[in-house]
Amino acid sequence: MTAVRSGRRPLARVLIALAGGLLSLLAGCGGNSVAPPGTPVLTMSSTNTGFAGYVVLVSAITLAESNGGLVSPVFTPLTIDLARLTDIAEVLGAPGGVPAGTYLSVQITIDYTNASIWANVDGQAKPLAARAPGGAGITSTILKVTFDPAHPLVIKQGVSTRAHVTFDLDAFNTVDLTTSPATVTVQPYALMQPALPDATPLRARGVFVTVEEGDFVINLRPFYDFVSNPSGAMTVKVTDKTYFNVENIVYPGGPGLNAMKGLNINTPVAAYGTLDSLSGVTPTFNATAVYAGESLEGGLQDHFIGVVAARSDNTLTVNNIQWLPLQVFSNPPPQMLFLPTATVTVGSNTLVTEDGNEAAGASLQSISVGQRVDVAGVSSTNVTTQLTSMNATAGQLRLQSTRAWGVLKSATPNSAVLDLLSLGNFSPASYTFTGTATGGGAVDPALYPVNTGTLDESATAAGTLLAVDGLVAPFGAAPPAFNATAITAGAATQQELVVEWVSGGASAPFSQHDAAGLVVDLSNANLGTVHAIYTGPQSLDLKPPSLPASPLITTTGANQSKLLLAVGNATLGITEFQSAAAFATALNSALNGTNKVYRLAAFGQYNSASNTFVATRIDVALHN
């Protein structure tokens, strides 16, 4: 569904748009009858432990109805950096006009023709050539994912229904750094599940339509596209606490919404928050932050989104960049690109703002090493060196929330010292800390000082792994080196258990596989070098002496309403289950002596007292 700006009340606007959406979508439907329409709300995320960038084209997502009808709710190919979808999920679309009905499966087409894949190796991005099993090049792969027969995707008339797509990068990629060029062997694996609105942070991106009382409407264009047909509409609700950055001017909620009334239709907009109501054909969204116009990619400047790795006066080295070239005057528009590194020049006229804080008073001095930034300016590439740089002296730079992982060394009620393991998803080895400390010195990452404010960690035991969210302190001002806004014990974050089998996989990878859970046979001859539990940048080997024995991977103790258990591959198809018993039956059938398991990825929490890994999601990837 696409919203149409007019003076009509919202219901009238929705009905007009719904008719147009219905005509476009039914062209892809089978069967002779048309069911009354509803709205699928598609969202997407990924999981990743080892990639700096993973840019591919998702060229199609097609739903199959129980009566044989086919619907493509997202009909625009999407260039996506799957490595970045771990930070925040994206709203793909909310197209009205999809026939109400029961949908049993989905096909997801992934195109690797122009893929750009980079491994995160000791904090440095290393390019990888994508290969299919056996070493041949890979172009396009179609994944068929069958929903749990007991929980199909049901789209109802006149309401919205959420479905979430997940790409598990650790379930389908094997990196080999010993070859020249370094390679990644790809056996794609993805899931899609019916889902309810929850507290998962989302980004809803598109173009402006109109301001209503207490909210505004956007036509959705996900990721970095501004020229394709919109993929539906969404009503964005705001409060007095919503942060606005409209045309590089920062506002609180009410004044920010009022400022949006002056925007031209089709001005780029992105809202951050959570899904609200799905009770109508147009879903609603609760926004905590809104960016519009020149504060967002798609305006009159190029954008680099990356992490500051070094600073010398007003020259920044920015690493691991999503490069979003100017789109307005290009047809077709340039695609999002990955850059391992680039230099950025800032100056006294560079506008610096802090995301989410209209009273921050940010300045050039606020930009320091390890800080995640979105910087806009004029980019250029040297034809001789092929190195890209950006002049942002007349541009703008947004300071974005950054995560630091570290092991606690000591703490007082208002401060902590960490042995820093990663900053902005990359190890301290990728940063030059010269100039970060008072007097021009360098912060010691092994003794990284953090201002915890009211987040008191003084009772936390030394040696505890912590995830710390916030902003890097101003350049040349440490200590502290980091100002925390949230602190989470590593054991309370989502952990990931990953195992790989080599030489074509293992036909008998488990010493136990039943409704009680899975136990990996660590003595299997085809067990690879990957067999660990990952908590942020820290890994725990499954083998003794790290663990007493191979842990039981179980759903007992997990939220049963959140289970997503799957087995399969691109050749056989992937089948999902939301009960341990049904999953165990399917896995027993799959392990028939012919099929072999290539990778296992499970998501949840490890319990050291019982040596169990309590999982809400388990992916068993069979070898293609």
**Residues 76 and 229: beta-carbon distance below 8 Å:** yes
- In this prediction, residue 3 carries a pLDDT of 53
**Residues 115 and 55: beta-carbon distance below 8 Å:** yes
Whole-number Å distance between alpha carbons of 511 and 488: 34
- In this prediction, residue 327 carries a pLDDT of 58
Average pLDDT for the chain: 89
Question: Given the DSSP bridges, would you call strands 372-381 and 124-131 parallel, antiparallel or unpaired?
Answer: unpaired
Q: Which residues pair with 487 in a beta bridge?
A: 468
Backbone angle region of 439, left / alpha / beta, with phi > 0 → left and psi within -120 to 50 → alpha: left
Whole-number Å distance between alpha carbons of 307 and 403: 11
**Residues 416 and 408: beta-carbon distance below 8 Å:** yes
Residue that is written with structure tokens 């007009």 in the block: 16
- In this prediction, residue 12 carries a pLDDT of 32
DSSP string, 527-587: EEEEEEEEETTEEEESSTTTSSSPPEEE-TTS-GGG-EEEEEETTTEEEEESSHHHHHHHH
- In this prediction, residue 265 carries a pLDDT of 92
- Measured over the CA atoms of residue 370, residue 533, residue 47 and residue 118, the dihedral's sign is positive
Q: Which residues contact 31 (CB under 8 A, 6 or more apart)?
A: 65, 67, 68, 69
Whole-number Å distance between alpha carbons of 167 and 305: 22
- In this prediction, residue 229 carries a pLDDT of 77
At 585, phi and psi to the nearest 5?
Answer: -60, -45
What's the Cα-to-Cα distance from 140 to each of 54, 89, 413, 442, 504, rounded to whole Å?
Answer: 15, 24, 54, 47, 21
Kindly state the percentage of the chain with pLDDT values over 70.
92
Angle CA(307)–CA(201)–CA(579) in degrees, nearest 5?
120
Whole-number Å distance between alpha carbons of 624 and 622: 6
Whole-number Å distance between alpha carbons of 288 and 70: 36
DSSP 428: G
Q: Which amino acid is at 283?
A: P
**Residues 436 and 443: beta-carbon distance below 8 Å:** yes
Residue (of 22, 168, 276, 205) closest to 602 by Cα position: 168
Is the bond into 181 cis (omega within 30 degrees of 0)?
A: yes
Whole-number Å distance between alpha carbons of 286 and 276: 6
- Measured over the CA atoms of residue 290, residue 292, residue 298 and residue 304, the dihedral's sign is negative
- In this prediction, residue 31 carries a pLDDT of 42
Both structure tokens of 241: 């606490």
Q: How far apart are the first and last CA of the chain?
A: 38
What residue ranges define each of the domains in the chain, with the CATH number in brackets?
10-194 (no CATH), 302-400 (2.40.50), 402-492 (2.40.50), 495-622 (no CATH)
Both structure tokens of 305: 């989104």
- Measured over the CA atoms of residue 476, residue 479, residue 481 and residue 484, the dihedral's sign is negative
- DSSP H or E stretch at residue 192: strand 190-195
Q: Which amino acid is at 572?
A: L
Taking every pair of C-alpha atoms in the chain, what is the biggest distance, in angstroms? Answer: 76
pLDDT < 50 stretches in the chain: 1, 4-33, 35, 328-331, 333
- In this prediction, residue 384 carries a pLDDT of 74
- In this prediction, residue 329 carries a pLDDT of 44
Please tell me whether residue 423 adopts helix, strand or coil conformation: strand
Residue (of 204, 216, 202, 296) closest to 256 by Cα position: 216
What's the Cα-to-Cα distance from 610 to each of 190, 551, 618, rounded to whole Å?
Answer: 31, 9, 19
What's the Cα-to-Cα distance from 370 to each of 21, 86, 268, 427, rounded to whole Å?
Answer: 45, 18, 28, 10
- In this prediction, residue 108 carries a pLDDT of 95
pLDDT, one tens digit per residue, over 462-486 is 999 999 999 999 999 999 999 999 9
Whole-number Å distance between alpha carbons of 428 and 519: 35
Burial class (CB in 10 A: 0-12, 13-18, 19+), 489: middle
What's the Cα-to-Cα distance from 211 to each of 70, 263, 531, rounded to whole Å?
Answer: 35, 10, 52
- DSSP H or E stretch at residue 590: helix 580-590
At 560, phi and psi to the nearest 5?
Answer: -65, -25
Kindly state the percentage of the chain with pLDDT values over 90.
77
Cβ neighbours, 10 Å, residue 50? 17
